[in-house]
Amino acid sequence: MPPPSDVQTQPIIAFAGVSKVYPARNESAEVVALHDIDLQVPQGAIVGVIGKSGAGKSTLIRLINGLERPSRGSVLVNGTDVTALGERDLREARRSIGMIFQHFNLLSSRTAFENIALPLEIAGVAKSEIAGIVGPLLAMVGLSDKRDRYPAELSGGQKQRVGIARALATKPKVLLSDEATSALDPETTDQILSLLKTINAELKLTIVFITHEMSVVKKLADRVAVLEGGRIVEQGTTFEVFANPRHETTKRFVGSITGGNVPEWLRAKLKPERLAGDSAVLHVGFTGRGAGQPVLSRLARNFGIDVNILHGQVETIASHPFGSLFISVAADPEVLGKVIAELKAGQNTVEHLGYVA
Contacts of 84 (CB under 8 A, 6+ apart): 74
* Residue 33 binds which entry of Mg ion, ligand ATP, none, CB below 5-8 Å type-dependent: ligand ATP
Tell the smallest beta-carbon distance from residue 165 to ligand ATP (Å): 24
Please choose, out of 18-26, 50-58, 106-114, 282-290, the segment that lies near Mg ion by the rule CB under 5 A: 50-58
Tell the smallest beta-carbon distance from residue 101 to ligand ATP (Å): 11
Tell the smallest beta-carbon distance from residue 76 to ligand ATP (Å): 20
Closer CB to Mg ion, residue 33 or residue 168? 33
**How far is the C-alpha of 318 from the C-alpha of 321, rounded, in Å?**
8
Residue 58 near Mg ion by CB under 5 A: yes
- What percent of the chain is helix, strand and coil (3-state, nearest 5)? 35, 30, 30
Residue 261 near ligand ATP by CB under 6 A: no
Q: Spell out, one character per residue from 265 to 284, where the chain touches Mg ion: x when CB under 5 A holds, - when not.
A: --------------------
Binding residue (CB under 6 A) for ligand ATP from 37, 48, 58, 253: 58
Residue 235 near Mg ion by CB under 5 A: no
Please choose, out of 35-43, 57-65, 147-155, 251-259, the segment that lies near ligand ATP by the rule CB under 6 A: 57-65
Residue 220's alpha-carbon distances to 42, 233, 239, in angstroms, are 15, 20, 12
Query: Could you please report the per-residue DSSP string of 244-262?
Result: S--SHHHHHHHHHHHT-SP
* Residues 320, 243 contacting (CB under 8 angstroms): yes
Residues 202-231 close enough to bind ligand ATP by CB under 6 A? 212
Tell the smallest beta-carbon distance from residue 186 to ligand ATP (Å): 19
* Residues 290, 347 contacting (CB under 8 angstroms): yes
Label the pairing between strands 279-286 and 31-42: unpaired
* Residue 69 binds which entry of Mg ion, ligand ATP, none, CB below 5-8 Å type-dependent: none
Provide φ and ψ at 247, rounded to 5°: -85, 145
**How far is the C-alpha of 13 from the C-alpha of 336, rounded, in Å?**
51
Residue 53 near ligand ATP by CB under 6 A: yes
Tell the smallest beta-carbon distance from residue 132 to ligand ATP (Å): 37
Residue 103 near ligand ATP by CB under 6 A: no
Residue 65 near ligand ATP by CB under 6 A: no
Please choose, out of 51-59, 71-79, 248-256, 293-301, the segment that lies near Mg ion by the rule CB under 5 A: 51-59
- Which residue, among 106, 165, 164, 97, has the nearest Cα to 134 in the 3D structure? 165
Residue 59 near Mg ion by CB under 5 A: no
Tell the smallest beta-carbon distance from residue 58 to Mg ion (Å): 3
* Residues 235, 223 contacting (CB under 8 angstroms): yes
**How far is the C-alpha of 112 from the C-alpha of 107, rounded, in Å?**
9
Residue 18's alpha-carbon distances to 31, 62, 68, 291, in angstroms, are 15, 13, 12, 40
Residues found near Mg ion in the complex (CB under 5 A):
58
Residues found near ligand ATP in the complex (CB under 6 A):
22, 31, 33, 51, 53-59, 212
